[in-house]
């Protein structure tokens, strides 16, 4: 009995198995094709993870990926900041002259420095003044809490010594 097997061409895209499992969204998938590339990639990952150099290699890959992303996004961000666009009304109709995103950001920062937080109440503070005041109050409160805790420790130590000496004197007088 002779069995003849003919394999025409095997590539990385050749399907070798069908597996059941979960996709990236967590949905159950009954028959997901598994290719030669999938098996090769799984074997490479398995060997890399076992290697002592894997954490260093992973950090290098992340660093290279971040550099590539920054390089790819830099022209897009620059274009977004410098290409003029027209603001629109609440109805989507063009309103005013064309502006750049850079000028819109600068105007918003200027507004933060000069716009009042509230028109009600006795104190009128700009948004920036209110933020600075809040941070100064928080820092001052922390310093005061620390100073009170330190004073409490000193006083409690002194009171403890005074009580101990009074008790000792009372015991001696008996």
pLDDT at position 151 = 84
Q: Cα(136)–Cα(129) distance, rounded to whole angstroms?
A: 10
Phi/psi for 111 (5° steps) reads -65, -40
pLDDT at position 31 = 77
Q: Which element (helix H / strand E) includes 20? A: strand 15-22
pLDDT at position 172 = 78
Over the stretch 109-144, which tens digit does the pLDDT of each residue have?
A: 888 788 776 656 566 777 788 888 899 999 999 999
Tokens 């274009």 -> residue: 79
Q: Cα(163)–Cα(109) distance, rounded to whole angstroms?
A: 60
Q: Which element (helix H / strand E) includes 67? A: helix 54-82
> pTM score, two decimals?
0.41
Q: Greatest CA span in the chain, whole angstroms?
A: 118
Angle at 80 between CA 77 and CA 85, to 5 degrees: 175
- Report CA dihedral (129, 135, 139, 141) to the nearest 10 degrees: 80
Give the chain's length: 174
Partnered with residue 99 across adjacent β-strands are 85
For the chain, the domains span 34-83, 84-92+99-174
């Amino acid at each position: 009995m002779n069995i003849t097997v003919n394999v025409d061409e095997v590539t990385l895209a050749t399907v070798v198995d069908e597996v059941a499992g979960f996709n990236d969204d967590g949905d159950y998938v009954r028959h997901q094709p598994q290719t030669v590339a999938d098996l090769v990639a799984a074997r490479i990952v398995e060997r890399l993870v076992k290697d002592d150099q894997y954490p260093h290699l992973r950090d290098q890959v992340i660093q290279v990926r971040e550099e590539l992303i920054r390089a790819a996004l830099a022209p897009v961000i620059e274009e977004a900041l410098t290409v003029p666009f027209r603001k629109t009304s609440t109805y989507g109709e063009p309103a005013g002259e064309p502006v750049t995103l850079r000028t819109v950001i600068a105007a918003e920062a200027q507004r933060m420095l000069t716009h009042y937080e509230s028109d009600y109440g006795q104190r009128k503070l700009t948004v920036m003044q209110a933020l600075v005041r809040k941070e100064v109050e928080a820092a001052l409160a922390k310093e005061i809490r620390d100073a009170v805790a330190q004073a409490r420790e000193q006083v409690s130590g002194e009171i403890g010594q005074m009580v101990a000496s009074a008790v000792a004197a009372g015991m001696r007088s008996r």
